[in-house]
Structure 1
Amino acid sequence: MTPTIADPVRHTVQQIVSWFARGFEQPAQSEMLAGLSDAEVQALADDCGISAHQLQALVKAGPHAADEMPAMMRALNIDPAEVEYHMRRLFLDMQVTCAQCSSKDTCRQHLQQGQAEQTFIDYCGNADTLNALRANPDLLIGA
């Protein structure tokens, strides 16, 4: 007979395993990128629509370097899925900007406190783009 694990415990164990796995994910990506020739890195960057320098910076920043961007979009009533679907290139550019941001702590704090809508313009590298997106009713949550 195989013992069963209660759902809350299974969920917690899965989160811990996932957390450890992510800890190893970024170094593996960095090693993979380091093993490529300059031409291969450039071709990969071209496929992503970014520069080779941006690609290297993104890999170094890790897989969650732009996690604040969709949260900020939602705080501003922008649907991240709609933007990604209709404006893929812009969405990628915004991710690059977010991943390279030096105001992460301020952003996270303001998002947590529900202040981001009032303050993002002061520190967000995507502020102008976010304001333009907010003006498009087709991209708003619930549109």
Structure 2
Amino acid sequence: MTLSLTEPVRHTMQQILSWFAQSFESSTEADMLATLDQTQINALAEDCGLSPHQLLALVKAGPHAADEMPEVMRALNIDPAEVDFQMRQTFRGMQIACAECASKDQCRRDLKSGAIGKAFVDYCNNAESLNALRANPEVLLDR
């Protein structure tokens, strides 16, 4: 079932998720989750549109584990905000893939050097999705 959210609801959800992210930064994420029972973890994961496994993996990866993803998207002329708005599930899946990535150092080097546009396909967990987005004019920065 796909929900169609109004802009005020979407904004409120983003604010709540932002608050959660800031709260997690101020204390140890694993410690916070350790205080929750499985029912609470399941409810929190559902509220965030994630599976409990995905939520735990993201918490374990840390609050900045997917910071590279929007930078890579912008470097590839993809508007992260538009992808998040139009394709929320795809965006979340990409965040999870980025958070779990083992090639962060290479990604950061390529972003810094400007080589990301050619190099990402060799190691990025999101390479297939990023290439598909590059072919979608509705989510490009230069439309």
Deviation, 1:29, is 2.8
CA contact (8 A) 1:26 1:63 kept: no
Equivalent residue number for residue 61 of structure 1: 61
After superposition, the C-alpha distances for 1:1-43 in whole angstroms (9 at most, x for unaligned) are xxxxxxxxxxxxxxxxxxxxx8x82643322211111121122
- Which of structure 1's runs of 4+ aligned residues deviate more than 3 A? none
**Under a length normalisation based on structure 2, what TM-score does the superposition of the two structures give?**
0.79
Q: Judge which range, 46-55 or 113-122, deviates more.
A: 46-55
Task: Tell me the SS of whatever aligns to 2:63.
Answer: coil
Pairing of 1:8-19 with structure 2 (within 5 A)? none
Taking every aligned residue pair, what percent have the same amino acid on both sides? 59
CA RMSD of aligned residues (A): 1.6
Partner Cα distance (1:58, 1:81) in 2:
20
Q: Judge which range, 124-133 or 31-40, deviates more.
A: 31-40
Name the CA shift for 1:26/1:53 in 2 (closer, same or farther; >3 Å). Answer: farther
Q: Judge which range, 36-45 or 25-34, deviates more.
A: 25-34
Q: Which has the larger radius of gyration?
A: 1
Deviation, 1:89, is 1.2
The aligned length equals 121
Q: Which amino acid aligns with 1:48?
A: C
CA contact (8 A) 1:26 1:60 kept: no
Q: Which amino acid aligns with 2:137?
A: P
Q: Which runs of 5+ in 2 are unaligned?
A: 1-21
CA contact (8 A) 1:45 1:51 kept: yes
**Under a length normalisation based on structure 1, what TM-score does the superposition of the two structures give?**
0.79
Q: Which runs of 5+ in 1 are unaligned?
A: 1-21
Equivalent residue number for residue 83 of structure 1: 83
